[in-house]
Structure 1
Amino acid sequence: MSLRLRLLLMIGVSLSLLWGGVALWLLRDLDHEMRRTLDQRLVMSARMVAGLMSQNPAAWDGSTGKAGLSTLTLPAAEKGLTCQVSSLHGEVLASTPGTTSEVIAAAAPGFADAEINGERWRSYTVEAHGLRVTTADRMAERNMLQRDVLVAAALPFVVALIGSLMVLWLGVKSGLLPLERLRQALASRAPDALTPIPEAPMSRDLLPLVHSLNQLLERTSTTLRRERRFTSDAAHELRTPLTAIKIHLQVARITHGPEAQASLDYADEAVARLQHTLTQLLTLSQVEGPFSWNDGRIAQADDVAHLAMRDAAPDASGRIALKTDGDQTELALPQALAVTALRNLLDNALRHSPAAHSVSLELQTSQDSVCFRVCDRGPGLSSEELALVTQRFWRRGSGRGSGLGLSVVAAITERFGGSLELAPRRGGGLAASLTLPRMTRTH
Structure 2
Amino acid sequence: MSLRRRLLITLVASLCLLWFAASAWMLFDLDRRVRDTLDQRLVASAHMVAGLLSQVPESTWQQTVGPQLSSPPGAGVACQIRSMRGDVLLRTRGDLASVLNRAPPGFSERSRNGQRWRLYTEFDHGLVITVADRVDERRHLQWGIVLAAAVPFVLALLGSLIAVWWSISRGLAPLERLRRELARRNPETLVPIVVESAPAELQPAIATLNHLLDRTAQALTREQRFTSDAAHELRTPLTAIKTHVQLAARADGQRARQALVDAEAGIARLQHTLEQLLLLARIENDQSDRPVSTAAVSDVIAAALADLGEQTRVQVGPFDAAAEVVAPLALTAGALRNLLENACRHTPAGQPITLDVERRGRNIVFIVRDRGDWPADVDPDVLIPRFARQGTGRAQGGSGLGLAIAAAVAERFGGGLVLQARPGGGLQTELSLLATDTDQRRRAD
Which TM-score bucket, shorter chain as reference?
Answer: 0.7 to 0.9
Q: Identify which of 364, 372, 384 aligns with 1:371.
A: 364
Tell me which residue corresponds to 1:429. 427
Q: 1:324 aligns with which of 319, 323, 332?
A: 319
Give aligned pairs, total: 424
Q: Report the Cα offset of residue 435 of structure 1.
A: 0.9
Q: Give the aligned partner of residue 232 of structure 1.
A: 228
Q: Deviations over 1:55-80 (max 9, x none)?
A: 4456972x3374x4555636735x2x
In the alignment, the residues of structure 2 paired with residue 43 and residue 190 of structure 1 have an alpha-carbon distance, to the nearest angstrom, of 83
Residue 356 of structure 2 aligns to a residue in which SS?
strand
AA aligned opposite 1:39: D
State the shift of 1:39 in Å. 3.1
Alignment of structure 1 residues 276-295 onto 2, 5 Å: 276-289=272-285
Distance (whole Å) between structure 2 residues aligned to residue 47 and residue 73 of structure 1: 20
For 1:357, the equivalent position in structure 2 comes to 352
Structure 2 CA distance for partners of 1:30 and 1:291, relative to 1, 3 Å: same
Corresponding letter in the other structure for 2:306: R
Equivalent in the alignment of 1:192: 188
Question: Root-mean-square deviation (CA), in Å?
Answer: 4.5
Alpha-carbon contact 1:322-1:360 (below 8 Å) kept: yes
How far has the Cα of 1:141 moved from its partner? 5.8
Q: Secondary structure at the match of 1:239?
A: helix
Q: Residue type matched to 2:260 in 1? A: L
> Are the aligned partners of 2:120 and 2:131 in contact in 1 as well (CA < 8 Å)?
yes
- The code of the aligned residue for 2:46 comes to A
- Post-superposition Cα deviations, 1:373-417, rounded to whole Å, max 9, x if no partner, equal 22213438999753x6554434436843233334434444555x4
1:42 is matched with: 42
Q: AA paired with 1:316?
A: Q
Structure 2: gaps of 5 or more residues? 440-445
Pairing 1:198-347 to 2, within 5 Å after superposition: 203-205=196-198, 208=203, 220-289=216-285, 299-311=295-307, 313-327=308-322, 329=324, 332-347=326-341
1:52 counterpart residue number: 52
Contact 1:293–1:334 (CA<8 Å) still a contact in 2? no
1:314 Cα shift?
Answer: 4.6
Tell me, which stretches of 5 or more residues in structure 1 are unaligned?
none
Equivalents in 1 of 2:378, 2:122: separation in Å?
Answer: 111
Q: What amino acid does structure 1 have at the position aligned with 2:397?
A: R
Of the three residues 129, 133, 136, the one matched with 1:133 is 129
What secondary structure, in the 3-state scheme, does the structure 2 residue paired with 1:76 have?
A: coil
Map Cα deviations across residues 145-167 of structure 1 (whole Å, 9 max, x no partner): 43453244223322332344345
Distance 1:408 1:349 in 2: 15
Q: Which amino acid aligns with 1:12?
A: V
Which AA in structure 2 matches 1:73? S
Looking at structure 2, the residues matched to 150 and 440 of structure 1 have their Cα atoms a distance apart, in angstroms, of: 78
Which of 398, 401, 404 is the equivalent residue of 2:401?
Answer: 404
1:161 equivalenced with 2:160 (yes/no):
no
Call closer, same or farther: CA 1:360–1:301 in 2, change over 3 Å.
closer
Distance 1:72 1:401, change over 3 A: farther
- State the one-letter code of the partner of 2:416: L
Superposition TM-score, scaled by structure 2 size? 0.74
Offset, 1:321 = 0.6
Tell me the residue number matched to 2:71. 73
Between the aligned partners of 2:259 and 2:135, the Cα distance in structure 1 is 119
| Distance in 2 separating the partners of 1:359 and 1:70 | 136
CA shift for structure 1 position 5: 1.7
Which deviates more, 369-378 or 231-240? Answer: 369-378
Q: 1:127 to 1:432 in 2, by over 3 A?
A: farther
For 1:431, give the aligned amino acid: T
TM-score, normalisation: structure 1: 0.74
Q: Percent identity?
A: 42
Which secondary structure state, in structure 2, belongs to the residue aligned with residue 240 of structure 1? helix
Q: What is the Cα deviation at residue 244 of structure 1?
A: 1.8
Amino acid at match of 1:271: I
1:293/1:221 CA distance change after superposition, 3 Å: closer
Distance of 2:168 and 2:240 partners within structure 1: 68
- Verify the 8 A CA contact 2:407 2:417 in the aligned structure 1: no
Cα offset, 1:182, TM superposition: 5.0
